[in-house]
A and B are shown apart, each in its own frame.
Chain A
């Protein structure tokens, strides 16, 4: 009797301790084994349809029997960005290689979280600016040091319904650029048939592309925002105007759904949205995002880039860094799979590929003049601007917030959040 009681207590205590160990120690034990393993722990935010493509690429690379095999650790973007500061400041379980968005590199660099590629780049003569899309390559270099190497450049553009274009604006796409004036003209004609000219989509790329076309910029000195400007007002104003003219989808309607069901002519969306657009039963095309002018040299297509970075980690050996470089160099010439995910690989090697040439997004990479239009908005506090646009953009386009309040509110919010940042001081 007593023995069994004692035994049950021991078991309870054992379970408790086990739970404790499960909570605290689990992670570190796996990291110590990883340290000795010849393995590159690779964190990335590819959890959607693109997760299959990245898995395929990694498997293919591992099949080449490299000294250091790559271990894919994909997690949701929001979770990954939450984890990064925690693991880097704790010094434990830091990934060997990480994909981050190009706009975030400066923040990480200023917080002293990254190491450079400068010491090893010399051994890989093909990893150089000429072999990559310029906009993506440039984002990896800060103050003359290279912190990021680009995997891709993913851009904003316009999907169009070929039949509806033929019906309402047959000449609009002759130059491969649809202007806001052309959209308005088409909208007037299409309105009678209850067809929207354009869908109101993600405000951030729509707004930022216009901001640059209107001569504005996020910041003049790289720190203080310049967001309460006429250019800023004009940029959001163009979208407000489209909505008020009654030629967009209604507030609350899903622009993509409307487009796919054949009820709008144009849909500004990212190149990565092809899988969704493919659900449409009509013939669709892809072109530059809507522009103010039809002059290609003035065109702006909002872009971002997934970049390889290495967070500071004492356990990463020089040999492992070589292994990482081997992997990145291999991807440079083996990135067709990534294009299949709807992305544009940053490596220009892809241009030679015939299969790629047939993909709609190749429009941006094939022609050097198109490449010039790809713009990544480099600003350390890009994140604060995004947050504001996410929460206030649609309200302003749909007439619930005044344009004046929108721009002044953005300037104020970004400024005050920057004031809390110590990495500048």
Chain B
């Protein structure tokens, strides 16, 4: 026969189990509907031949085989060009997306005059939609009417030739995403105790020494987080090259997502299976790179 105490004990875990789930539910539901289910569906589609209309035909690994090993296939080329450009984009943009916001956050942390105004100004672009950002910068970089060529006294077709096309994309991207990382760094910088800096001052440390010996180590966790998150989001680059450089010149800024989008939802018959396989490969790349980053940055402890 069970005692009252035991009964209560047996009930208790139940009660504890429901509550957190209820609080998690809104996020979980969104996660399932808009992330997990479509992802699983995407992986399944990648094993089929499908035009979005008829019945998907199961073709096993043949999409992957064609993309990864058939060197004559345009889809092999798409992966090669698209992935190369995506990786280049990540390499070009991520360092700036970390360093620039970090420097701005450090500067704002010194609380200069009007720092709140500057903070809002720096944060503002991240609220804009990419299409607005792209239109704005396309005008700025316009070869004949753009203020940038006017200021520099040049007539460079910025989006038409390399390396200017990449420079344009990096400028647009960094300007657009500064805000998010900056806010994180600002919060982190605020959390560092003033005592460290006072002690360093007494020992006669320079401000550069203080930055590298105190500030950076103190916000390492936030930097790790932003590096991983920024890398993942830059791997998913689409809007900037689509709207600013249109993938040119000569496909040199055409990123993988542009091919994925065109194959599945282009103006021709959809090639959704192949497109999904490309997307799965991109997803795997992002996972591997994030894992490597995580391990590397963790090991520095």
Contact = CB atoms under 8 A, between A and B. Distances in A.
Nearest to B274: A420
Interface stretch (A61-69, A155-163, A380-388): A380-388
B250 interface: yes
Contacts of A85: 51-53, 270
Interface string A291-332: 000000000000000000000000000000000000000000
Interface stretch (A28-36, A268-276, A357-365, A410-418): A410-418
A204 B153 CA distance: 34
Interface string B257-280: 000001001111111011000000
Nearest to B57: A422
Interface stretch (B115-123, B157-165, B209-217, B229-237): B157-165
Interface stretch (B19-27, B97-105, B193-201, B288-296): B19-27
B204 to A, nearest CB: 54
A13 B268 CA distance: 44
> Main SS of chain B's interface residues?
loop
B29 interface: yes
B26 A19 contact: yes
A384 B270 CA distance: 10
Interface residues of A, number: 45
Contact of A252 (B53, B142, B251, B262): B142
Interface string A8-44: 0100110110011001000000000000000000000
A254 B51 contact: no
Interface string B145-173: 10000000001011111000000000000
B143 A253 contact: yes
Contact of A412 (B23, B74, B142, B262): B74
A386 B53 CA distance: 21
B51 A423 contact: yes
Interface stretch (A50-58, A280-288, A366-374, A393-401): A393-401
Nearest to A384: B268
Interface string A147-180: 0000000000000000000000000000000000
A89 B29 contact: no
Interface of A: 9, 12-13, 15-16, 19-20, 23, 78, 81-82, 85-86, 88-89, 107, 111, 113, 250-254, 257-258, 381-384, 386-387, 391, 394-395, 398, 400-401, 412-413, 416-417, 420-423
23 contacts: A12-B22, A13-B25, A82-B265, A89-B53, A250-B157, A252-B144, A252-B157, A253-B144, A381-B269, A382-B267, A383-B269, A384-B267, A387-B266, A391-B251, A395-B251, A400-B249, A416-B73, A416-B75, A417-B271, A420-B49, A421-B51, A422-B49, A423-B54
